[in-house]
Amino acid sequence: MNIIPITEAHIDACAKIFINTYNQAPWSYQWNLEAAIKYLGEYISAAKFVGFAVYHENEIAGAILAHTKTWWTNDQLYIDELFIAPEMQKKGFGKQLIYHAEQYALDNNLQTLVLMTHKFMPAMSFYENHDFLHAQPFILLFKNVS
């Protein structure tokens, strides 16, 4: 297992894993390669982007895409996406990416790791098992406009 910083050269490989992960149950999204490349590329091209790919046997097994964010108490690392190829899940790759992000935060004087996930999806228990806490007073709101 090897973890390296993500660059634009990794977008295609990451997009394929992203699609493979989220286009199946329980998410059952309908990403296509062009949209996934554009979506991940928007993160990677951001000024404060931080991302890491985890490799297994010279193949990307998953990735974490994040950005640093200013907060009144201290800067934080906001995790935008974390995904592991379905056949690589439950083998410790996600755990290693979280630990790597934690170490990055410590090395860069970032006080917290922050993320949003769906409370009824498997990722919720993964994050709880890695000591992420619920931000009880906060909720996510959205409004369809079409």
Q: Which residues have a Cβ under 8 Å from the Cβ of 129 and sit 6 or more positions away?
A: none
Selection from 35, 39, 111 nearest residue 71 by Cα? 111
Q: Quote the percentage of the chain above a pLDDT of 90.
A: 77
Q: What is the pLDDT of residue 39?
A: 98
Give the mean pLDDT of 61-87.
96
Residue 140's pLDDT band, with cuts at 50, 70 and 90, is: low
Residue 48, in any domain of the structure: yes
Give the mean pLDDT of 50-70.
97
Q: How far apart are CA 35 and CA 123, in angstroms?
A: 23
Residue 87, in any domain of the structure: yes
What's the CATH number where 94 sits? Answer: 3.40.630.30
Domain that holds residue 18: 2-129
Residue 89, in any domain of the structure: yes
Is the pLDDT at 54 greater than 80? The verdict is yes
* Per-residue model confidence as pLDDT tens digits over 81-137: 999 999 999 999 999 999 999 999 999 999 999 988 777 777 877 777 777 777 777
Q: Model-level pTM? A: 0.88
Mean pLDDT score of the chain, rounded to an integer? 91
Question: Which CA distances in Å does 23 have to 3, 16, 91, 134, 144?
Answer: 25, 10, 21, 27, 22
Number of structural domains in the chain:
1
Residue 140, in any domain of the structure: no
Residue 143, in any domain of the structure: no
Lowest mean pLDDT across 64-68, 113-117, 139-143 = 139-143
* Tokens 């996510």 found at: 140
Residue 25, in any domain of the structure: yes
